[in-house]
Structure 1
Amino acid sequence: MNFLIIFIVTAILQLFAPWWTVALIPFLIMLWRPLTPLHAFVTGFLAIALLWFFYGLYLHTSTTGAMSNRIAEIFSLPNGILLLVVTTIVGGIIGGLSGLSGYFLRKTVQ
């Protein structure tokens, strides 16, 4: 359930809010509904990683790879797919660590 809440709320907020909401939402959800430290990290990681992967894949396919390949060249990456993988991992780590932070803050305050 936490996964769906993080995924849906972050997807909606990404349309209107700044990029850093991907750290705020897992933090708040795990602060509100914590389970275990591993679950907090994995849930935040997977929710944000899959969200960014699917959105990046949508952008990649809608522009036939032109935009992502150009951005990949800026970062000296061979193609846009590798950029998509790197972006997915970075987003997942941000989501996982923020979920874990929310969990530990809840345990500290209790």
Structure 2
Amino acid sequence: MLYILIIVVGGILSYFGPWWVIAPVCLVLSAWKAKDAKEAGLTAAAAAVTLWVGYATYLNVVAEVDLSAKIADLFTGGVGFLSKVPKVAFIFTIMTLIISTVSSFSGMAGVHIRQFFKA
């Protein structure tokens, strides 16, 4: 249930808000629904990664310009061993690491905030 709620509410708010709106969504929904910090962190990370990778894949497919290649060239400079990695895979890996860290910490923080105010 928490997984679906994060995807639905996060998707709606991400459409209208900035990229980091997923963090407060994970915090509030995990404080409301999660049983413990481990469940909150894992579920929030999985839901946020699903949402972001799904939306990024959609944008990558419908874009007329290969934006992921241009962004990857910004990070790699087109030289070194990273230039041999597929550019879409590089961007999606970086994106997954960022969003999973942000959302899992905010999900765990939500549970800890709830525990703090209960005691």
Deviations 1:36-58 (A, max 9, x none): 11100001100101111111111
Match of 1:72 in 2: 72
> 1:98 aligned to 103, 106, 111, which one?
106
Match of 1:63 in 2: 63
Question: Which one has a bigger Cα radius of gyration?
Answer: 2
Q: Give me the TM-score of the superposition, normalised by structure 1.
A: 0.92
Aligned residue pair count: 110
Q: Give me the TM-score of the superposition, normalised by structure 2.
A: 0.86
The answer to whether residue 34 in structure 2 is matched with residue 26 in structure 1 is no
Deviates more, 1:26-35 or 1:63-72: 63-72
Alpha-carbon distance in 2 for matches of 1:65, 1:81:
17
The CA RMSD over aligned residues, in Å, is: 1.4
Match of 1:14 in 2: 14
Alpha-carbon distance in 1 for matches of 2:5, 2:26:
9
Give 4+ residue runs of structure 1 displaced > 6 Å after superposition. Answer: none
Alpha-carbon distance in 1 for matches of 2:16, 2:49:
19
Alpha-carbon distance in 2 for matches of 1:16, 1:65:
23
